[in-house]
Structure 1
Amino acid sequence: MKKVYSVEEYIEVNNHFANELSVLRDIIISTELEETVKWSAPVYALNGKNVVGLGAFKNHFGIWFFNGVFLKDEKNLLVNAQEGKTKALRQMRFESMNDIDQAAVLAYVKEAIENQKLGKEVKAERKGKSVTIPSELKTLFKNQPDVHDSFKALTPGKQREYCEHIESAKREATKQSRLEKIIPMILQGVGLHDKYKNC
């Protein structure tokens, strides 16, 4: 599909559902949502947060609810596009104009707006690696609790940098030398590579 820059272009490109998309668009823009185009499709946002979007395909068209998982769905109108993969997104699918219950669509959109105002959203899971603390650092923390407290205050990324720095040393002497060098840095709350990050 060619890149589109306006909702009008999107409807024109999907002219087999032009009237239907226009009806859905009119319902959505009757609310306080702001109309934008993202990923070459109409998206409607509230204070910069995506709430709903319009989509058209070969045999169906519909509305995407970005955090549709929180909708009550009393009329059982929503589907999960990719069961097992999609956590928050839900679709309301239609195949013809006759499928559109305008009152229901408006009610669902309004509920989605309220949910957004309440801050209901599925946060993306960060698949960060857990921090494995080498035995040399554990010993240091037992002997110097202030260093341990400072270490715990660091971000997981900075903690990981220090752990890997100690772990990667082959010789015990190198590990001890590295430990001595990082103690003041940990106490200052800086990361191992901070001095290079803003170069």
Structure 2
Amino acid sequence: MSEKKNPWDKSGQWPEEMNALKAIIDKTELVEMTKWGGPVYTIDKKNVIGIGGFKSYVAIWFWNGVFLKDSAKKLVNANEGVTKGLRQWRFASKSEIDNDEALILHYINEAIANERAGLAIKPKKKETVISAFFQSALDSDAEFKNGFEKLTPFKQREYLEYIDTAKQEKTKATRLEKITPMVKSGIGLNDKYRQ
């Protein structure tokens, strides 16, 4: 039986490099798991690193790489302005990995220590903003308001966004009419899609 294709190995051209990285990672206490279809290495079931091949490089990424000292200046933010904690170390050849093995191991062990110390970027809680249109609907229907308040903040935000993304008042009113029985019944906007 053939080995499953790693979705993080976009090109399939890095088998030696991937194996070299795995051999280094095997020298640590990290546990390999498959998440999102690719290899992720964890400690106490928390993501520490992952590996993958792309068109012009193979990479090891550190979930909370922002906390690594990176004295050798090897890490890059793959998605500047979007990615908060994740950092990548990119390699163009197996010899590059072999030459940096001790340093790679050092970075991985530092990442493990940081995970154990609880260093992580905590996601910011989204603030629920209720528009004047939606607030007037809540104020005019006690049953609707009661149902809305019983929903989780996530489900509340889904409804608010659904109403507020309508450009015309007529569309907002139509959408409000549609969701009112769902809110009163405690049903989330997208519950039918969540299984």
TM-score (norm 2): 0.64
Q: Which deviations, in whole Å up to 9, do the C-alpha atoms of 1:100-152 show, x marking residues without a partner? A: 200010000000000000011111222222579x9xxxxxxxxxxxxxxxxxx
Matches within 5 A, 1:1-199: 9-10=5-6, 15-100=12-97, 101-130=100-129, 164=135, 168-169=139-140, 192-193=149-150
CA-CA distance at 1:27 after TM superposition: 0.8
Q: Decide whether the 8 Å contact of 2:62 with 2:86 is kept in 1.
A: yes
* Runs of 5+ consecutive residues of structure 1 not aligned to the other structure: 135-162, 186-190
Q: Helix, strand or coil for the counterpart of 1:20? A: helix
Partners of 2:29 and 2:93 lie apart in 1 by 26
Q: Helix, strand or coil for the counterpart of 1:108? A: helix
Q: Helix, strand or coil for the counterpart of 2:25? A: helix
Q: Helix, strand or coil for the counterpart of 1:59? A: coil
Q: Decide whether the 8 Å contact of 1:5 with 1:40 is kept in 2.
A: no
* Runs of 5+ consecutive residues of structure 2 not aligned to the other structure: 152-183, 188-195
Q: Which deviations, in whole Å up to 9, do the C-alpha atoms of 1:61-112 show, x marking residues without a partner? A: 0101000000000000000001111100000001112322000100000000
Q: Decide whether the 8 Å contact of 1:35 with 1:43 is kept in 2.
A: yes
Q: Helix, strand or coil for the counterpart of 1:50? A: strand
Q: Helix, strand or coil for the counterpart of 1:35? A: strand
Q: Which deviations, in whole Å up to 9, do the C-alpha atoms of 1:162-186 show, x marking residues without a partner? A: x9589522xxxx8xxx5xxx9xx9x
Q: Which deviations, in whole Å up to 9, do the C-alpha atoms of 1:17-48 show, x marking residues without a partner? A: 11111010111121111101112211001111
Once the two structures are aligned, what percentage of the paired residues are identical?
Answer: 39
Q: Paired residues, what number?
A: 149
Look up the match of 1:140.
none
Structure 1 letter corresponding to 2:90? R
Partners of 1:28 and 1:167 lie apart in 2 by 55
RMSD: 3.3
Q: Decide whether the 8 Å contact of 1:5 with 1:37 is kept in 2.
A: no
The structure-2 alpha-carbon separation of the partners of 1:197 and 1:46, relative to structure 1 and needing over 3 Å to count, comes to farther
Look up the match of 1:138.
none
The structure-2 alpha-carbon separation of the partners of 1:30 and 1:12, relative to structure 1 and needing over 3 Å to count, comes to same
Partners of 2:68 and 2:23 lie apart in 1 by 21
